[in-house]
Amino acid sequence: MSQLLSRALVSINWLSEALKTQTGPALRVLDASFYYPAIRNGRKEYEEQHIPGALYFDIDECKDQGSPYEVMLPSESSFAKYVGNLGINNDSHVVIYDADHLGMYYAPRAWWMFKVFGHDKVSVLDGGFRNWLKKGLPVTSEKTEVKPETYRAVLNPSRVKKFEDIERNISSKEFQLVDSRSHGRYTGTEPEPGEGIYPGHILGSLNLPFTEFLTEEGFEKSPDEIQQLFKAKGIDLSKPLTITCRRGVTACQLAMASFILGKEDTAIYDGSWFEWFQRAKAEHKVSQWKSEK
């Protein structure tokens, strides 16, 4: 099983072979492409071409629709209903990919959602759709019809941090906090996408951009390289770790990277900078941004 690169990743060759032998709920492939700002339309692109048998996992639909923040986790029952309708049950091996040019951008968020709701058999396609196409593997525009399955979701609250947890941590320092956005957005020297929010970071957080974990070709770097990245920032994987970003999407790349190294308890601050910007005290927001205040 060398092509199961880790329990978090499967190779393109592995998936290509598995699709020939595993059918129905045993193996479900999901396209989680979603773009913000909406420079591309993930669902439309999925309808035009996707891996045969894949279904579309809409991150913007499978979220807490009542939250004022951007992409918050849905309730257990909402998640269970959403994935059950995709023909997934608790025994399914779910493989997730996206079509971002980086190779893997949104897929780790969907991976983390399954993890946080107690699903163990979930993997990200290493290299993503970009490399599937590069290998000349089959794609289709055919709609995949599935029978709904019964799915039971149980949230693991220890893997999700709330605003109050982060606020308390500023003085208690119960866990290390790492921001996965680019250095410029972390320091506040390059703009945040979207209206009404300037860049910057949570007081006391370290910066380790998620792009550092990906090769130029769009694959995950080796476990040794991943280990080095954390080590170079002084992050101790034997201690509690929480990741933040803008809205809890790219943070999941670091959760996945730490999982590859055997750390399964990394948490995500779901509201991330978008919530923090709106709710935190001014002295808990660090930014070099020169805005018209």
For 100-137, the pLDDT digits (tens) are: 999 999 999 999 999 999 999 999 999 999 999 999 99
Q: Pairing state of beta strands 93-97 and 122-125?
A: parallel
pTM higher than the cut 0.75: yes
* Average pLDDT taken over every residue of the chain: 92
* Per-residue confidence (pLDDT) for residue 41, from 0 to 100: 82
Give the domains, in start order, of the chain with CATH numbers.
Answer: 9-134 (3.40.250.10), 157-286 (3.40.250.10)
* Per-residue confidence (pLDDT) for residue 46, from 0 to 100: 87
For 83-94, the pLDDT digits (tens) are: 999 999 999 999
Q: How far is CA 49 from CA 11, 12, 30, 55, 93, in A?
A: 20, 17, 13, 11, 22
Number of helical H runs and strand E runs in the chain: 10, 12
Query: How far does Cα 17 stand from its chain's mean position?
Result: 25
For 197-249, the pLDDT digits (tens) are: 999 999 999 999 999 999 999 999 999 999 999 999 999 999 999 999 998 89
User: pLDDT category, 291, cuts 50, 70, 90?
Assistant: low
Q: How far apart are CA 153 and CA 250, in angstroms?
A: 23
The amino acid occupying position 192 is E
Share of the chain above pLDDT 90, in %: 81
Q: How far is CA 207 from CA 188, 189, 263, in A?
A: 12, 14, 19
For the chain, the residue count is 293
For 261-289, the pLDDT digits (tens) are: 999 999 999 999 999 999 999 999 999 99
Q: Is 245 part of the annotated catalytic residue set? A: yes
User: pLDDT category, 6, cuts 50, 70, 90?
Assistant: low
Residues 146-166: what's their mean pLDDT? 96
DSSP state of 154: -
Q: 107 versus 36: which is more confidently predicted? A: 107
Catalytic residue from among 122, 245, 254, 256: 245
Decide if pLDDT at 2 tops 50: no
Collect all residues with Cβ–Cβ distance below 8 Å to 20 and sequence separation of at least 6.
Answer: none
Half-sphere exposure (Cβ direction) of 101: Cα atoms closer than 13 Å = 2
For 239-264, the pLDDT digits (tens) are: 999 999 998 899 999 999 999 999 99
Neighbours of 112 (CB within 10 A): 28
